[in-house]
Amino acid sequence: MTISISVKDLRKSYGKDSAVLKGLSLDLYQDEILALLGPNGSGKTTLIKILATLLTKDSGKVHILGQDLDDDENEIRHLFGYVGQDTERSAYSRLTVVENLQFFGALRGLDKRQVNAQIEKLVEYFDFKSNLKKYFGYLSGGQKQTVVIMRALLHDPAVIYLDEPTKGLDPLIAKNIRSFLKKYVKEEHKTLLLTSHILSEVDELSSRVALIHDGVIASVGTAQELKQGVGVDGFIELQKHSIPLGVVDKILRLPPVLNSDDQDSEWVSFGINNMVDAMEGIIHILREEQIQSQFRYRNVSLEDAFVYRMGLLSDGFEA
């Protein structure tokens, strides 16, 4: 594996008492999609903007494809594609899609022929040919997002930064973009760093997930590893209104049941480590108490892992 991006002890503050990154270190590899997860204000966007040369760091070392951010800033700008948040308006609304892409391509030193060849390739991926002659301002939110992603890939960069790439998009377009990115990174040997609050998207897309908390990387691993870190195999959920408090305590005393969570308005959830034994035990208790309740089983999701880790971190535990 080759390191594409190496970040060491990165620090950034926006003023005296507003440190956002507090010594963040992270490596990203070729052929990898790494998702940054963290609560709002945890420093995800700040990190991406520093890597995209839009913000200066206070200290730390950053290497992108071997180039030092301190010495080779302009060289580095050739190497990445960037999609920031709020892409709804981030191209010229009175230029057509193709005119926008040609202009932005020209700013990267591409001639018309190169831009057109790349556009042709990308519109095939996105099935976007029919929109090329439309004004950017007349496109839907999803179409605009597609254009902005195409713009980021126009110069075929080795590294791509996407800050919440599918925010506000309808599920079908979001799915198309996800499938494209996955295929593109794999086939073209790219490195993709993305932030997202849609955890199902992160689960589907990412090779690894990094949890950022209080300005540092609190935990990094595959989505599977993060889920395993929750310490349960899955959850059995019962309808809240049908389960008296005493019964919840009784279920919690079963050996395969590790914890319970009643934050949801409709379901009370039991974390378990042996599905068959837990199911048998719970059914036995429900029969004994003559309770009729619907129940369901679900696997540990990335959201569970995220909430669990963030809960630990907020309580002062090391993840």
Partner 1 sequence: MISETQVTRDTHYVKSSKSKPISSWKVFVATTVKDLLIQFRYLPNLVGRLFELTIRIGFFYLLASITTYTVAGSVLTGRSLIVFMFGGLLLFVYSNTSFTAPMNAVSNDLHNGTLEYLYSNPSSRYAYFLGNVLSSAIVNQIVFLPLYIVLFFIAEATAFNMLMVLLVCLAVMGVLISIGIMIAMLALIWRQVGAFVQILAILFEFVSGTYFPLSAYPLPLQYVAYALPYTWGYDLIRYYSLQNKWQTILPPWIEWCILGAYAVVFMVISRILLVKAERRSKKLGLHFI
Distance CA 315, CA 318 (A): 9
Distance CA 78, CA 96 (A): 25
Distance CA 143, CA 138 (A): 9
159-163 vs 80-83, strand pairing mode: parallel
295-299 vs 234-239, strand pairing mode: antiparallel
**Please, what is the minimum distance in Å from the beta carbon of residue 74 to partner 1?**
5
Task: Provide the binding-site residues for partner 1, judged by CB under 8 A.
Answer: 1-4, 6, 14, 27, 29-30, 46, 49, 52-56, 63, 65-67, 74-75, 77-80, 82, 84, 86-87, 89-95, 99, 103-104, 106-110, 114, 118, 151, 155-158, 189
**Please, what is the minimum distance in Å from the beta carbon of residue 303 to partner 1?**
28
- Please list, in sequence order, all residues whose beta carbon lies within 8 angstroms of the beta carbon of residue 280, skipping any fewer than 6 positions away: none
**Please, what is the minimum distance in Å from the beta carbon of residue 282 to partner 1?**
43
Q: State which residue, 54 or 283, has the beta carbon closest to partner 1.
A: 54
CB distance 100 to 147 below 8 Å: yes
CB distance 47 to 36 below 8 Å: yes
**Please, what is the minimum distance in Å from the beta carbon of residue 260 to partner 1?**
39
- Residue 185, classed as helix, strand or coil, is helix
- Residue 206, classed as helix, strand or coil, is coil
Q: State which residue, 63 or 227, has the beta carbon closest to partner 1.
A: 63
**Please, what is the minimum distance in Å from the beta carbon of residue 91 to partner 1?**
7
Sheet holding 3-13: strands in order across? 19-29, 3-13, 59-64, 67-68
In the chain, alpha helices (H):
44-51, 73-77, 97-106, 112-126, 141-153, 171-188, 199-205, 223-228, 245-252, 275-288, 302-314
**Please, what is the minimum distance in Å from the beta carbon of residue 63 to partner 1?**
5
Q: State which residue, 158 or 279, has the beta carbon closest to partner 1.
A: 158
**Please, what is the minimum distance in Å from the beta carbon of residue 20 to partner 1?**
10
